[in-house]
Amino acid sequence: MLWFVVRRLGIAVVLLVGLLTLVFAVLHALPGDPAERFLDPDADPEVVRHARRAYGLDAPLPVQYGRWLQAFLLRRDLGHSFATRQPVSAMLREAVPHTVLLAGTALVVRLALGIALGTWAAVRRGRGVDRAVLGAALVLHSIPAFWLGAMAILVFALGLGWLPVSGMESLDHARLTPLGRAADTLQHLMLPMLVLAAGGIASTARYVRAGVLAALAHESVRTARAHGIPERRIVLRHALRNAMVPVVQLIGLSLPALVGGALVIETLFAWPGMGRLAYMAIGTRDYPVLLATTWLSGVLVVIGSLLADVAAAMLDPRQQLA
Amino acid sequence: MSTPLLEVRDLCVEFATPAGALRAVDGVSFTLQAGETLALAGESGCGKSATASALLRLLPPGGRIISGDIRFEGQSVLALEGEALRAFRGRGVGLVFQDPVGSLDPLMTVGAQVEEVLRLHRRGSRHQTRAAALALLARVRMPDPAGQARLYPHQLSGGMCQRVALAMALACEPRILVADEPTTALDVTIQAQICALLRELQAQTGMALLLVSHDLALVAGMAARLAVLYAGRIVESGPTAAVLASPRHPYTRGLVAAMPGLDRRPGRLASIPGTLPDPTRLPSHCRFHARCDVRIERCGVENPPSRDAGPDRSVRCFVDPPAANPTPEV
Amino acid sequence: MAQAWTRDRVPAAGATARLWRLRAARAAIAVVVVFALIGLLAPVLARFDPTAIGTTSSATAPGPDHWFGTDAFGRDVWSRFVHGARLSLVIGATTAVLAVGIGTAVGTLAGFVGGGVDAVLMRGVDAVMAFPRLFLVLLVVGWLRPSIGLTILVLALTGWMHTARLVRAEVRAVRGATYVRAAEVLGLPLRSILVRHVLPNALAPVLVSASAMVGQTILAESALSFLGLGVPLPTPSWGAMVDEGRRAFPNAWWVSVFPGVAITLTVLGWNLLGDALHDALDPRLAAEVER
């Protein structure tokens, strides 16, 4: 088991470097001079030349690449924002936990509801519940998240006034008690989190349903029944557990979409996370921020996949052989 | 005669298929006394597995018992529901399957699986259950119960997994053990070991054994009584030795003749020409008619009933084989 | 009680399930065709110039004059809607064709040649797939100026990976098949083996993935437009319309509703079509799916 984790960690590290390389390659493959992009388009050419030297953009590509790797990975220096002059790493340190909170809770809700609905649909196969779950899965999979969010805001925030329209905190957040602050954040979290989770609930349910049906068809279920083991235990302890393995792996595969979806949701709900940071950086042409957030989005996915793989291996020892 | 432990009367099982209703078991009747071994033999598709599954009401999806009766210790099995059915399974009748590795949960250690079954049927602390599980694994002659109990099914060989399956079935202390092709997926040497083990366990516990197999040699070594199935019906039954030595039904004769033996002269293997009838369109006359070498006109018109053919023997055929017909040595 | 926990009702010979699927497939084709027609006939269907800013009315509700109402600038929503359908159609189809083309090429290369080439290509695919698509797209679109061409290019370049994996799997399976090895031994040229044996087998998953890709592309493009990074204004796009509408919340809510519903229906149609194609092209799987 330990060896398996070490091996996966090694792959993850290699992947992180690879991601960084990819971002670097994309940047330099695109038409346009980085120096001109990094600076005021109306700047004096002399200033541009000076800046180019200062930013090290006149060095040969491999040297730039090396410096980049060094800065990002060893010194954890992600540059400075053009717009706010703050170090990017500081900005991200503040923003990333918010994204993790949003995406993390959405993932948990998605899993919990998806597993419950999927199992229910599997044991009631062919009946109304099953059809409803499958139908809902198809529809939710096709609804654009930003539209669902906009409609949710329209109905629940503006129309019914149940939940706040946007943001993470109310204006008087700082003056609330710790419990009050938590409740306030939770209230603001509700709508964006549910919208982010919505699409995924249905597809998770579909996967779980397939997994449970496959597990129930396994010979070992017949054996368990033959020994008189109660049906409930068979479904929950045997079938569901077996079905969980591909579902956990699915988590890893769905992470890119989750983090990407967080970007849109954060922008819509003005949630101060990494995605919103990236979006605003486009408006101000703040490339250091843009680069760092892009790379970090990949990092989050890689870390999440690693965790999912380890979880799968814990559930099913056969995975360690892969 | 005391009440038989298991009594099956005119059992009929149907499966729903796209091509129509498939009658896999058509009027099968037999009895099983306490402690005895009965073999249900026949080729693939004859209905023997369906019969075994029906006994525990564990038919695959699409299968239904449409008529007949199954009585265990005098009580009707078909009337059982819910808790009572659960108690019957595993306590009354235990089942061992053909695929030893596949019939175990791949995500649980074998020790945990045996413990799970034990916990259902016996009270006891965690510690006691664990000890009992290890004792069971030792009883099925696993070389290293403590060590192997921690392994997962995919880490064990087929023979070991079959022993674990046996241990799980035994954990319920069943009165009857149904073994559905228990050795088909195993090597010949392991087959012999598992057979010996079955015999030993039977002697120890006094349980009855219903052996389902297509392997006549296996059956000859294990079962006291034999019932041969063809196309969903029992065509011949009786004491194993007698049936195999002097088969009365042409199908049984064909089966026995087809067995290659070490003491026979090498040559072409005998085979029964033709194939099983289409199970969705069974003829209303004798089902073996098309392949039979002694058929008479009546065979093409009516279905022969099962009739007495000697002490404790029955056969389903209109034709009484003349003494001149050579019977092969077995 | 115990039996009641798992009430597995297998439909009689799978007929009911098959019927539902057939009905769903028919509905899917209908939806896809309807929206495609709307898109194709947009100039004819539009009743006003989609970019013409209204002189009098600003944000009126749907009525006989303006079927879908007008937005905050007084533009006729219906006209913008049908032109948005056209845009979705164009971008969706072009991107899908491009992405599937790239994916098929890469997948065939990786699957056929195998070895080091395969390993490098697949690691590359893994790396690109680790990035959330939107972030990558944002990076490129933020760097350059948004346009239809750029949108199509970027979406295609970030969407080919799934197809590549599918095709690679199929090609590998066929590659190892005995009849292909036999053809090689007989000295048949590589190109002819590829064209006559390998590619036809890969056709099925390619068609299915192309269909699903149109749906995904429409979702991605509308998300981009929503963020203001898609096709530049004032070209109407469904995603941008949703954004415009929500900025005027709670007034003029209809500006957001119609395009959103349209996106949902169109994507649903393409996804269902993909499913139906999947079942139709592989009867083995269709039987499994029904169980």
Q: What is the mean pLDDT of residues A194-202?
A: 88
Per-residue pLDDT of B317-330, as tens digits, reads 888 765 434 544 44
Chain A residues with CB inside 8 Å of B88's CB? 228
This model of the complex carries an ipTM of: 0.82
Distance CA C8, CA B322 (A): 53
- How distant is the alpha carbon of residue B88 from its chain centre? 18
Q: Can you tell me which residue has the tokens 């879908």? A: C68
Q: How many residues does the structure list for chain A?
A: 322
Per-residue pLDDT of B78-96, as tens digits, reads 888 888 888 888 788 888 8
Distance CA B50, CA B310 (A): 28
Q: What does pTM read for this prediction? A: 0.79
Is C250 in CB contact (< 8 Å) with chain A?
yes
Which residue in the set C17, C140, C272 is minimally distant from A138, CB to CB? C272
Whether residue A224 contacts residue A197, with contact meaning beta carbons closer than 8 Å, is answered with: no
Distance CA A258, CA B97 (A): 44
Distance CA C272, CA C115 (A): 36
Q: Is the pLDDT of residue C58 over 90?
A: no
Whether residue B97 contacts residue A222, with contact meaning beta carbons closer than 8 Å, is answered with: yes
Phi-psi region of B90 (alpha: psi -120 to 50; beta: other; left: phi over 0): left
- Indicate which of C6, C16, C229, C257 best probes the interface with A, i.e. most A CBs within 10 Å of its own CB: C6
**Predicted pLDDT of residue A229:** 87
The CB density around residue A162, as the number of other CB atoms within 10 Å, is 11
Distance CA C291, CA C277 (A): 18
Per-residue pLDDT of A135-174, as tens digits, reads 888 888 889 999 999 998 888 888 777 888 788 877 777 7
Task: State which H helix or E strand residue C179 sits in.
Answer: helix C178-185
Which residue in the set B62, B82, B85 is minimally distant from C10, CB to CB? B62
**CATH code of the domain in which B234 resides:** 3.40.50.300
Locate the chain B residue with the closest alpha carbon to C291: B61
Q: Which residues contact A53 (CB under 8 A, 6 or more apart)?
A: none
Instruction: Report which of B58, B3, B2, B6 is spatially closest to residue B30, judged by C-alpha positions.
Output: B6
Instruction: Report which of C240, C265, C278, C280 is spatially closest to residue C33, judged by C-alpha positions.
Output: C265
3-state SS class at A290: helix
Q: Phi first, then psi: what are they for C5, rounded to 5°?
A: -60, -45
Q: What is the mean pLDDT of residues A287-299?
A: 85
Whether C144 and A125 lie within 8 Å, measured CB to CB? no
In a domain, B112, yes or no: yes
**Predicted pLDDT of residue C223:** 92
- How distant is the alpha carbon of residue B239 from its chain centre? 16
Whether A263 and C271 lie within 8 Å, measured CB to CB? no
| CA atoms within 13 A of residue A140's CA, in its CB half-sphere | 21
pLDDT band at A100 (very low <50, low <70, confident <90, very high): very high
Q: Which residues in chain B come in under a pLDDT of 50?
A: 323-325, 327-330
Query: Per the structure, how many domains does chain B have?
Result: 1
Whether residue A246 contacts residue A115, with contact meaning beta carbons closer than 8 Å, is answered with: no
**Predicted pLDDT of residue A265:** 93
Q: Which residues pair with B233 in a beta bridge?
A: B230
B221: containing domain: 6-315
Whether B107 and A219 lie within 8 Å, measured CB to CB? no
In a domain, B326, yes or no: no
Whether residue A222 contacts residue B103, with contact meaning beta carbons closer than 8 Å, is answered with: yes
Distance CA C209, CA C274 (A): 7
Q: Which residues contact B69 (CB under 8 A, 6 or more apart)?
A: B7, B8, B9, B10, B11, B76, B78
Instruction: Enter the tokens of residue C202.
Output: 């890969």
Q: Phi first, then psi: what are they for C155, rounded to 5°?
A: -65, -40
Minimal C-alpha gap between A118 and chain B (Å): 20
List % helix, strand, coil for chain A (3-state, nearest 5).
80, 0, 20
Alpha-carbon torsion angle C200, C205, C211, C213, nearest 10: -120
- How far are the Cα atoms of B105, B197, B221 from residue B132, in angstroms, in the given order? 20, 19, 31
Q: How far apart are the first and last CA of chain C?
A: 24
Distance CA B44, CA C58 (A): 79
Whether residue B40 contacts residue B230, with contact meaning beta carbons closer than 8 Å, is answered with: no
Instruction: Report which of B69, B72, B67, B25 is spatially closest to residue B49, judged by C-alpha positions.
Output: B25
Compute the mean pLDDT over every residue in chain A, rounded to the nearest whole number: 83
Q: What is the mean pLDDT of residues A189-207?
A: 88
Q: Which residues contact B313 (CB under 8 A, 6 or more apart)?
A: B236, B237, B238, B239, B242, B243, B248
In a domain, B146, yes or no: yes
**Predicted pLDDT of residue C8:** 39
Instruction: Enter the tokens of residue A3.
Output: 């060896």
Whether residue C161 contacts residue C125, with contact meaning beta carbons closer than 8 Å, is answered with: yes
Whether B102 and A219 lie within 8 Å, measured CB to CB? yes
| Amino acid identity, position A147 | W
Instruction: Enter the tokens of residue B11.
Output: 């059992």
| Amino acid identity, position A136 | A
Whether residue B70 contacts residue B55, with contact meaning beta carbons closer than 8 Å, is answered with: yes
**Predicted pLDDT of residue A76:** 72
Give the A:C interface size as CB pairs under 8 Å. Answer: 173
**Predicted pLDDT of residue C267:** 93
**Cis peptide upstream of residue C250 (ω within 30 degrees of 0):** yes
Give the A:B interface size as CB pairs under 8 Å. Answer: 70
Interface of C with A in 172-231 (CB under 8 A): 215, 219, 222-223, 226-227, 229
Q: In terms of CATH, what superfamily is C30-51+63-290?
A: MetI-like (1.10.3720.10)
Whether A259 and C135 lie within 8 Å, measured CB to CB? yes
Q: Are strands B314-315 and B307-308 parallel, antiparallel or unpaired?
A: antiparallel
In a domain, B322, yes or no: no
In a domain, B133, yes or no: yes
Per-residue pLDDT of C80-102, as tens digits, reads 888 889 898 999 999 999 999 99
**Predicted pLDDT of residue B11:** 92
Q: Output Rg (C-alpha) for chain A, integer angstroms.
A: 24
- Indicate which of C10, C16, C18, C131 best probes the interface with A, i.e. most A CBs within 10 Å of its own CB: C131
